[in-house]
Structure 1
Amino acid sequence: MLQKLFTGLGFFIFSFACAQNDTIPLTLGESIELGLENNLDLKSAGLRAETSEVNFKQTRSNVLPSLNAGVNVGLNNGRSIDPFTNAYIDEQLSFSNAGLNLDATIFNGFRMRNSIQRDRYNLRASEMETEEAKQNLVLDITLAYLQILNNSDLIELARLRLEATEKQQDRLKTLYDQGEGNPADYTDIQGQLANDRANVIDAKNAYFSSVLNLSQLLNIDYPITAEDMNMLLEPVKYQLSAEEVFEDAHQNLATFKAKELRIQAAEEDVSVSKSLYSPEISLFAQLNTNYSSVARLYNETGTQRSETGGFVTIENQNIPVFTNEIIYSEEAIPYYDQLNNNLNSVVGVGIDIPLFNGFRAKNNVALEKIQLKESKVDYQNTLLQFRQAIKKAHADMEAAFEQYHILQEQAEAFSESFRVNEIRFNSGVSNIVEYIISKNNLDNSLIRLANAKYEYLLRVKVLEYYRGNM
């Protein structure tokens, strides 16, 4: 009872929303276009592909030399070494130094080349995985769209059942009011009418759920309806075998292409790890200079005589000794002049030869080989899963096709039986129980027929998806 209550409430909310906002009819093509534009899972797959592209660009840029500049500026108090004279001083000074460093890898066991090739494969694999996400989304949208159409048909069947019961109830009510016929017939038809009304609510709620499912795939929040009724044409027997479908899937699906590219990337990873055994040759260069606030330039301005403090004795007379001293003027050396005067450069070649690194190279190679084997196993597992899924979908498709024709015959038989029983009941020859049983047999056969038709079309769409035709 609670389930029926919540079901009715959900349908009421849906009906109220549709009354407030006109529904927008969408064809299957329009639905797919909206999904490809709005679906969040597809956007996430696209972002992962963009990340792989950035990684590839960075790996490719690693072949370029690195060039870095640095500048330091500071203030020093107390005893320190003058960066200009390298002498100890005990005063406040400001200083700065600047440098330019260049590093370039000349050879590292083809690590960079193999890394570039690896990330190129990873980029293409990510693009194929994005394409796989698109293919999966198109299939999901198609199946959700079919479900809406099928549920729409079931609503129509439920409505027609309700109309037929209402007409019969009106007839029996007239007889009941006139005191004719069996009063139990009227109450039985009332019970059948309530059952048919509940079935209409269930059908509408199922339709509402299928619309919500499609809206979620399309990432939209406005009411929609499906109008591409041509998708529910009469089933035509599928001509391809399961093995033919699998061969097409193997050739066309992005899933397999992505797995193959991941295997190629894993092979390159093995080559990258092997480069740890090789020596690395690199070129380095530096350009440095510095500045000190205590640096001075002394310019000669002349000479002067001055006593040395010594003397000579001539004839018992002390005569002081004089000397000529050069006179200098002190001048601060300008900032840019110091930077230019203090320039020094270094250039060289470095060789890094691996002798022993705790078996890191060996273990890395072993790990990458295991990863390669895992990629190959994953590929084989994917092949197996798709082969089994295709076989099952093909078997389900054939069963649905056969079931559809059997149910078609059953519906025709029950339709004729109901026609006869309705005439007999209206004529008073048969009772209400026979009428209701005959009516329910027909109604249920029509529902099963509609579901079988949907099931067949669904399986065909799944098989066409596997072939890469979505």
Structure 2
Amino acid sequence: MKSSIVNKMVWFSLILFGVSVHSQTKKWTLEECVNHALENNISIKNSTLDKELADIERSTAIGNFLPSANATASHSWNIGLNQNITTGLLENQTTQFTSAGFNVGVDIYNGLQNQYRLRRANLSQIASQYQLTKMQEDIALNVANAFLQILFNKENLKVQKEQLLNNQKQMERSEQLLKAGVIPRGDLLDIKATVASSEQLVINAENLLLISKLSLAQLLQLEDFKEFDIIDREYEATQTPLLLQTPEAIYQKAKETRTELKIAQTNLEIAEKDVSISKGAYQPRLQGFYSFSTRASNLDRVTGVELDPSNPTTVIGIVEGTNQNVLQPNFNAILGRPSPIFDQFDANKGQNFGVQLTIPIFNGFATRNNVQRSKVALERSKIAYEQEELTLERNVFTAFTDVKGALKSYESALTTLEARQEAFNYAKERFEVGLMNAFDFNQSQTLLVNAQSEVLRTKYDYIFRTKILEFYFGIPIIQKP
């Protein structure tokens, strides 16, 4: 008795634990899936890095307007036979020199290239933001598609399980009819085969559901996707108000809102700035410069002079008429230790400043070819913009047509399902009284299951295609309340 009570308590605890674990499994909404993907998807992260590069490019363009400043310093040793700059004699000596300087340069005029580069950088920033937005929109659409695919597979699994349950009940009923002698043994074998086929369809449906969950989890960059699941939500396949619009009206709206067209327009403006930048190289360039320098050495310095005791004078000429020698005293320099280094820096400092004008005359057609290349790129951008308009128009008309076709397919599937359900009910009544064989009954049942699956497929296909059409009309995937 005690053992029985203990076993019951153990089973009760396991059931509670299972319920607790199941309740802790997070189920994601469509909004949560989209938001998580926008924050963690790898493609979006790459687009974010592209935007950061565009910000750096703009910072570089701003820096072109600022002066360039550089400081220099050097210290050298000169060993061997060299001229003593103090005495003018060749001596074997080791001398040290220290120099320092500071240079500043600034562009005063360079054909407005800096201005055009800054405008181009601003456009690149806008284009990178558009690229990021486009990537976010594509990811959101892919997430919505994967989300709806899971819902479809869940509904389809319910249909297959329900059909399996009906087949199992029908098999039990057939066993009773066989015992009563109402149906032959072959009909029971057909029903058993149908049950086995239904079990296989349930397994396939479970696998498709698992794969669809895995696909969405990977799209969300989830590491632990084994327990991933979404909230079961019923989406109504109601007729979208956009079908009351004309494809032309939706296209005009898309031209105002679609990101890919904005990207093409921005790239066209960037190409125009590239032409202006390349043409700026034809014009003269005026630069201002300023430099400051100073130096010091370890050479001895002259502190005074004294007469040469061995040769105090030198004859430098004769006075005409008197023939007297003209004498010049010979002085020797009195050398002392080098001046303090900071005193030398102060005494030897110098400055240099001015302007430099560079006029391009001929550079091997380099400037001309750059201009021609930028013009070709501009024409490509114009063609790309026109192509983007044509692609957008085609996509809008295709999306509009797809929605209309999907709605008709869904309505037709509903009509077919209603007819198949009535036919199955009639077949079931005939089979139960022995007026229909198992093969024909299974055929009717298979047609019903196919009709149910087709309703689900056309329903979610219509919902997703409606999302695409709304997408082109400027309606976001996730509408904020």
How does the TM-score come out when normalised to structure 1?
Answer: 0.87
Q: Give the Cα–Cα distance (whole angstroms) in 1 for the partners of residues 279 and 330 of structure 2.
A: 75
Q: Give the Cα–Cα distance (whole angstroms) in 2 for the partners of residues 210 and 269 of structure 1.
A: 46
The equivalent of 1:340 in structure 2 is 346
Shift of 1:466: 1.3
Task: Report the secondary structure of 1:372's partner residue.
Answer: helix
Shift of 1:359: 1.4
Which string of whole-angstrom CA distances, capped at 9 and with x for unpartnered residues, describes residues 408-454 of structure 1? 11101110110111111111111101110110111101111111111
The equivalent of 1:235 in structure 2 is 238
Among residues 197, 220, 237, which one is paired with 1:218 in the alignment?
A: 220
Among residues 443, 448, 454, which one is paired with 2:449 in the alignment?
A: 443
Matches within 5 A, 1:295-374: 295-298=300-303, 306=309, 308=311, 328=334, 330-374=336-380
Matches within 5 A, 1:56-95: 56-80=58-82, 89-95=91-97
Query: Does structure 1 conserve the Cα–Cα contact (< 8 Å) formed by 2:303 and 2:333?
Result: no
Task: Report the secondary structure of 1:229's partner residue.
Answer: coil
2:156 is the alignment partner of 1:151? no
Shift of 1:181: 2.8
Q: Give the Cα–Cα distance (whole angstroms) in 2 for the partners of residues 468 and 57 of structure 1.
A: 33
Query: Does structure 2 conserve the Cα–Cα contact (< 8 Å) formed by 1:28 and 1:228?
Result: no
The equivalent of 1:209 in structure 2 is 211
Q: Give the Cα–Cα distance (whole angstroms) in 2 for the partners of residues 375 and 137 of structure 1.
A: 26
Query: Does structure 2 conserve the Cα–Cα contact (< 8 Å) formed by 1:141 and 1:214?
Result: yes
Task: Report the secondary structure of 2:244's partner residue.
Answer: coil
The equivalent of 1:142 in structure 2 is 144
Residues 336, 178 of structure 1: CA spacing in aligned structure 2 closer, same or farther, 3 A cutoff? farther
2:313 is the alignment partner of 1:269? no
Shift of 1:26: 0.8
The equivalent of 1:252 in structure 2 is 257
Shift of 1:221: 2.3
Task: Report the secondary structure of 1:122's partner residue.
Answer: helix
Query: Does structure 2 conserve the Cα–Cα contact (< 8 Å) formed by 1:84 and 1:291?
Result: no
Query: Does structure 2 conserve the Cα–Cα contact (< 8 Å) formed by 1:109 and 1:276?
Result: yes
Residues 309, 253 of structure 1: CA spacing in aligned structure 2 closer, same or farther, 3 A cutoff? closer
Which string of whole-angstrom CA distances, capped at 9 and with x for unpartnered residues, describes residues 126-169 of structure 1? 11111111111111111111111111111111111111111111
Residues 239, 327 of structure 1: CA spacing in aligned structure 2 closer, same or farther, 3 A cutoff? closer
Gaps of 5+ in 2: 1-20, 314-326, 477-481
Matches within 5 A, 1:284-303: 284-298=289-303
The equivalent of 2:470 in structure 1 is 464
Q: Give the Cα–Cα distance (whole angstroms) in 2 for the partners of residues 307 and 278 of structure 1.
A: 69
Shift of 1:468: 2.2
RMSD, aligned CA: 2.5
Shift of 1:328: 4.0
Query: Does structure 2 conserve the Cα–Cα contact (< 8 Å) formed by 1:83 and 1:291?
Result: no
Shift of 1:83: 7.5
Which string of whole-angstrom CA distances, capped at 9 and with x for unpartnered residues, describes residues 27-50 of structure 1? 111111111111110010011011
2:52 is the alignment partner of 1:54? no
Query: Does structure 2 conserve the Cα–Cα contact (< 8 Å) formed by 1:35 and 1:219?
Result: yes
The equivalent of 2:10 in structure 1 is none
Query: Does structure 2 conserve the Cα–Cα contact (< 8 Å) formed by 1:114 and 1:268?
Result: yes
Shift of 1:180: 6.2
Query: Does structure 2 conserve the Cα–Cα contact (< 8 Å) formed by 1:235 and 1:456?
Result: no
Gaps of 5+ in 1: 1-18, 311-320
Task: Report the secondary structure of 2:337's partner residue.
Answer: strand
The equivalent of 1:376 in structure 2 is 382
Task: Report the secondary structure of 1:91's partner residue.
Answer: strand
Count of residue pairs brought into register by the alignment: 439
Task: Report the secondary structure of 2:98's partner residue.
Answer: strand
How does the TM-score come out when normalised to structure 2?
Answer: 0.85
Query: Does structure 1 conserve the Cα–Cα contact (< 8 Å) formed by 2:282 and 2:360?
Result: yes
Task: Report the secondary structure of 1:421's partner residue.
Answer: helix
- Counterpart residue type for residue 457 of structure 1: I
Residues 283, 327 of structure 1: CA spacing in aligned structure 2 closer, same or farther, 3 A cutoff? closer
Residues 210, 86 of structure 1: CA spacing in aligned structure 2 closer, same or farther, 3 A cutoff? farther
Task: Report the secondary structure of 1:332's partner residue.
Answer: coil
Residues 169, 337 of structure 1: CA spacing in aligned structure 2 closer, same or farther, 3 A cutoff? same
